[in-house]
Structures are given as structure tokens and as C-alpha cells.
Amino acid sequence: MDKTIRPVPREAESRETFQRAAQWAPAGLIPEFVKKVGWAYRWVRTSMAGQADAMNVSSKMREGWEPVKPAEHPEMQLFTGDSRHSDSIEVGGLMLMKTPEEFVAQRAAHYNKATQAQAEAVNNNFMKENDARMPLFQEKKSTTTFGKK
């Protein structure tokens, strides 16, 4: 009787047999949902400390955000809103809203342009104090280093 242990051929091994067992993790504060292509999603505050925040919701709606309906995301039907927002998904004072991704890109471009204009204004204001006898130094790049050199 041969009692030697023979190694398992490499071809017979599979990654599935070596997977670690799933571990418990605490639930997140906001539930996960399936995002649809072409839409950007955001949780918008509807109330804070028990007080309704209609101003915040209306400002987001004017920006192009619209409430997500529970019928669009069946996995979120458990989280339907209260009487104020009955046809929406709301969790802990936050309402799930969506907008086309193009709007998000346009908004980012708008604020990038405004930021660039503000930075240029600050630089121009700084450089107007420049004097040829003692020129100001304006560094336009930054570097990041780690550890000792």
C-alpha cells in the first residue's frame, strides 16, 4: 500500500477553491443601487434636524436634478419617501436625484472656467506690484516629494 501524498497537478487547481469566505461587514448609511448609463446620481438633503429643507431641494431641481422614482430602481422600493416626497427614494433626510451626465460635465466646465478666471485675477493683482529693481517671483508649478533625499 503506497501512502505517499502526490501533489495535485497545476492544471487541476482552480482559484475558486482558494477564495476566502465572505465576511460580515456593517451596512452602509446609504444603500447601494444600480446606476444606469448616461445618468449621474446624487443624494440631496431634504431635511436636517427634523426641519424640512425645501430650499436645498428646489435649488437642485433648478440646476437640472430630478428625483429618482422607485419604479426606475426596483431594488430601492423599500426606501420610498414620506408624504412630502411620496414618489421618490429617500433615506434619512436624503433624496436620490439624477441628471444627465452631460449636465454634470457642463457644470464642471463652468466652475473650472470660473476658478481659472479667479486664479488669473489673483495673479494679476499680485504681479501689478512688480518692480524691475526687485522682481517678484511667481512659481507656476508645484512638486511633491516623499521621504528624504
Cell triple for 106: 457642463
Judge whether 89 and 119 are in contact, CB under 8 Å: no
Name the nearest CA neighbour of 95 among 75, 77, 71, 79. Answer: 79
Within-domain flag for 61: yes
Within-domain flag for 109: no
Within-domain flag for 85: yes
Task: Among 14-18, 28-32, 99-103, 133-137, name the one with the lowest average pLDDT.
Answer: 14-18
Give me the domain span that covers residue 44.
40-100
User: Where does residue 43 rank: exposed (0-12), middle (13-18), buried (19+ CB within 10 A)?
Assistant: middle
What's the pLDDT at 39? 95
User: Where does residue 53 rank: exposed (0-12), middle (13-18), buried (19+ CB within 10 A)?
Assistant: middle
Residue of 33 and 18 predicted with greater confidence = 33
Res 147 pLDDT > 70 = yes
Within-domain flag for 83: yes
Cα gap 82→79, rounded to integer Å? 9
Within-domain flag for 4: no
Which amino acid belongs to residue 35? K
Cell triple for 36: 444606469
Residue of 111 and 136 predicted with greater confidence = 111
Within-domain flag for 21: no
| Stated pTM of the model | 0.62
Confidence bin at 132 (pLDDT 50/70/90): low
Cross-strand partners of 62: none
Within-domain flag for 5: no
Using one digit for the tens of pLDDT, what is the confidence trace for 46-71? 988 888 888 999 999 999 999 998 88
- Give the number of domains in the chain: 1
Cα–Cα separations (whole angstroms), residue 58 to 19, 45, 140: 48, 11, 40
Within-domain flag for 50: yes
* Number of C-beta neighbours around residue 31 at 10 A: 13
Q: Is 126 helix (H, G, I), strand (E, B) or coil?
A: helix
